[in-house]
Structure 1
Amino acid sequence: MRYKSIVAAVLAAVCLPAMAGCSEVTGVGAQNDDKTIRFVSTNIALYEDTTKVLAEEVKKRGYTLDYKFITDGPALNSAVENGEADATYHQHAAYLQYYDRQFKGNLVAAFDAFTDPSGLFSKKWKSIQDLPDGAVVTAHIEPANFYRPFLMLQDAGLIKLRPGVDPLSITESDIIDNPRHIKIQGLDYALLPKALDDADAGFLYASQAADIGIDFHTALVTESKQNQSPDVIAVKNGQQDTEKIKVLKESYQTDEVKKQLVESFGGKEVVIPAW
């Protein structure tokens, strides 16, 4: 699937599991009192594993974590917007920014959870400088991620972007110098690992690479620290300093949760804790 325009990317993003919309969450918030934190998370193993540990840590502090894992991604942010949940755990900072902009949301990051760094990988080439004329580089088509290969390629000196370009609305037309005629091909998240069989290079998160047995250190180029986008726990603006969210942060940023971030990947340090 070739990347056509930011419009196509936005249309695709509306259907992605991480996107928030108007769906309702059922089964969350049965208890809504001063000692219950209503929490919604995505049903990906890493998030499920750490949420269960988080619940135990919250309990140690005299609170209850009333949590639910949601398959229907559009419900996650709207659950917090609608007051059905106190916090949501499924997105990185750039995605949250995109959500608020695109859907006129009012969510903020209460605190950082971890960073899942990204890189460009290849089964054909040993170095980013080996990419040939007309090389195809795959990218996650969702707008909050599509920009990342562009920045990595620019950092590697292979392309030059228009000064002041907005990362969340980037397109190939924002490349002002591309001597190797590199093509950026936007794909759905689930297709990125398989696309490495055909593309010259492709975008993967460290967690994706680990899932298919690729050592992150073999990336042709990795995202610079300043361009990384940490995963966050998000709340409705104005709620970030409440006692419940302070307890949630204290409970999350513990040695027990940090240990689970490693155990979720079979003992490998794949994602980077934020504390």
Structure 2
Amino acid sequence: MKKKVLSFALAAVLSAGLLTACGSDASTTAAQTDAAAPESTAAAVTEEAGSESTAAQEAESTAETTVESKGKVTVAATSVPHAEILEAAKPLMAAKGWELVVTEFTDYVQPNEVVEAGDMDANYFQHITYMESYNEEKGTHLVNAGNIHYEPLGVYPGKQSDLAAITDGAEIAVPNDTTNEARALLLLQEQGLITLNDGAGITATVNDIKENPHKIKFVELAAEQIPRSLPDFDFAVINGNYALEAGLNAADDALAVETSDSDAVKKYVNVIAVKEGNENNEGIKALVEVLKSDEMKKFINDTYQGSVVPYEG
């Protein structure tokens, strides 16, 4: 036991001597330099620990602020541009607590059927005039939950490329559904190719053509079929979404398009359609708010360069 005490005392004396030596003027700089490395390492460890602590706190804070899920909003849509726009809206919907589920269709009938049947919450593919016409023809109960965008209808070149030099007897393909056919005929009337009966308006059909100086032959086709049939006709009037799917851009490829200040655009604004009674559902209101947000307007303008235009109003 005495040996252990003696050893401890000796060690203490030696340590004191060493400390005294470090405190002398001759060795101060070297001692401080030697001490710098462990102090720096200690600081780095402290900083790293602090960073880990901060990251942990941020992760905990993020977890605490995660938006509580409010459920799903299911939407039927045609692929371009509607489904693309909805895909871009998903993060904004998620930030509001909603999971946006999009199902794509290739026609203009099934999206309305699934909403009318209650199988899906909403659809996004049609303009308001088509929806109203569909209700009248099918006895459905669809209503407009929000005006989102419009797609300028365009006249595209096929066998011929100059509307001003159109040949007599030229064939022009137009959509065969009631409202889009009227829209096509109104656009052709604006180009001076035909004259419609007074008051024909958005219900116009080829039977309402009063003057047809070039004896144009109008071929009525399902809207989705026209782009792939374009080479078979002299010209064709194509819906904006189907033109985009075919790689056509109204701003660059069309010979004539509807103008943003035309009365027709107001009648052909694309809408979020729901079954009557569901237009004020929380999820639907959130969807409309997101689609009309500045973020989504920018996405639409940047992506489609005038082929799809956000609706103001």
* TM-score, with length taken from structure 2: 0.66
CA distance in structure 1 between the partners assigned to 2:238 and 2:218 by the alignment = 14
CA distance in structure 1 between the partners assigned to 2:129 and 2:80 by the alignment = 22
Of structures 1 and 2, the larger Rg is shown by 2
Task: Tell me: CA distance 1:215–1:71, structure 2 relative to 1, closer, same or farther (3 Å).
Answer: closer
Quote the offset at 1:252 in angstroms: 1.6
1:91-170 aligned at under 5 Å gives the runs: 91-165=126-200, 167-168=202-203, 170=204
Q: 2:239 maps to which residue? A: 205
Q: 2:287 maps to which residue? A: 248
Quote the offset at 1:111 in angstroms: 0.8
CA distance in structure 2 between the partners assigned to 1:48 and 1:158 by the alignment = 35
1:184 alignment partner, SS class: strand
Task: Tell me: CA distance 1:145–1:260, structure 2 relative to 1, closer, same or farther (3 Å).
Answer: same
The alignment's C-alpha RMSD in Å is: 2.7
- The CA deviation string for residues 20-52 of structure 1, in whole angstroms up to 9 with x for no partner, is xxxxxxxxxxxxxx9335322225153333223
CA distance in structure 1 between the partners assigned to 2:241 and 2:110 by the alignment = 24
Q: Which of 63, 67, 88 is matched with 1:53 structurally?
A: 88
More helix by share: 2
Unaligned runs of 5+ in 1: 1-33
Identical positions, percent: 28
Q: How many residues align?
A: 238
Task: Tell me: CA distance 1:216–1:45, structure 2 relative to 1, closer, same or farther (3 Å).
Answer: closer
- The CA deviation string for residues 226-253 of structure 1, in whole angstroms up to 9 with x for no partner, is 2131211012233323443322221222
Larger RCO: Structure 1 or Structure 2 (Cα < 8 Å, ≥ 6 residues apart)? 1
Contact 2:151 2:307 in 1 (8 A): yes
CA distance in structure 2 between the partners assigned to 1:192 and 1:113 by the alignment = 25
CA distance in structure 1 between the partners assigned to 2:241 and 2:78 by the alignment = 15
Task: Tell me: CA distance 1:152–1:49, structure 2 relative to 1, closer, same or farther (3 Å).
Answer: closer
Letter in 2 for 1:52: E
Q: 2:213 maps to which residue? A: 179
Q: 1:220 maps to which residue? A: 255
Quote the offset at 1:171 in angstroms: 3.0
Unaligned runs of 5+ in 2: 1-68
Letter in 2 for 1:227: A
Task: Tell me: CA distance 1:64–1:144, structure 2 relative to 1, closer, same or farther (3 Å).
Answer: same
